[in-house]
Structure 1
Amino acid sequence: MKLTEVQFGALKPIDGYGPGFFRVGGEVFQGAVLVTPEGTKPWSGSADPAELLALHGSVDVIFYGAGADVAHPPKALREALEAAGIGLEPMSTSAAARAYNVCLSEGRRIAAALLPV
């Protein structure tokens, strides 16, 4: 079997994460983060949907990493994103990071809103 290394080009994958931090494209971020193909920035969390709604038109789906365990996002957040036509996929943070990297390598229009583990 031949293994092929995933190529991200100029895009920055999620390299790792741990208690309270994320490493994206070699840069370390403390706390919750919003990761998009355009860049990574601190995220204020699910209480304020404005940061995620601002992605309208640039992403089709946001992977919602809820921490160590799967948890549903707040109803108001889910409804606001649905009204804007943005899909929201809740999962654990580890699953969201993996899904983001796979979809990023495929050139999909995605983002990851990640709460720390």
Structure 2
Amino acid sequence: MTGKGIVIREAHFPGRAPIEAYGNGGFRFADMSHRGSLMCLPSGIHGWEPADPLVLTVADFDKLLAEAGKVEILLVGMGRDLRPLPAALRAALKA
């Protein structure tokens, strides 16, 4: 019998849950913790790793854009340093 070893899956919680706490580079929700960024969508809570967090692109928001018709409010946390979203990204999100 051969084992598959460790299977790494995309981080996804298939439901809605309140964010219970955040800090130290992560979040707590649904009695779990997640280190890194999250994208909370109608389809659930997804682990989110943009290609370059300092230069966000439209492609980084593909999952959000696919569900845009179901999203009423968008909050984008920018970490410790406040900086505006790139103009092309802002235009795509407004559309």
User: So what's the TM-score if we normalise by structure 1?
Assistant: 0.54
Structure 1 equivalent of residue 84 of structure 2: 72
Structure 2 equivalent of residue 52 of structure 1: 64
Instruction: Please give the per-residue CA displacement for 1:66-115, whole angstroms capped at 9, x wherever unaligned.
Output: 112432122222111111xxxxxxxxxxxxxxxxxxxxxxxxxxxxxxxx
| TM-fit CA distance, 1:15 | 0.6
| TM-fit CA distance, 1:44 | 2.6
Report the structure number with the largest CA radius of gyration. 2
CA distance in 1, matches of 2:68, 2:89: 14
| TM-fit CA distance, 1:17 | 1.2
The reply to whether residue 29 of structure 1 matches residue 34 of structure 2 is yes
Structure 2, unaligned runs of 5 or more: 1-14, 51-55
The reply to whether residue 40 of structure 1 matches residue 45 of structure 2 is yes
The reply to whether residue 18 of structure 1 matches residue 23 of structure 2 is yes
CA distance in 2, matches of 1:12, 1:75: 31
SS at match of 1:65: coil
Count of matched residue pairs: 74
Checking the alignment, whether the CA contact within 8 Å between 2:41 and 2:64 is kept in structure 1 is: no
Flag as ranges the 4+ runs of structure 1 deviating above 2 A.
Answer: 44-47, 68-71
CA distance in 2, matches of 1:33, 1:11: 13
Percent identity between the two aligned chains: 36
The structure where strand makes up a greater share of residues is 1
User: So what's the TM-score if we normalise by structure 2?
Assistant: 0.64
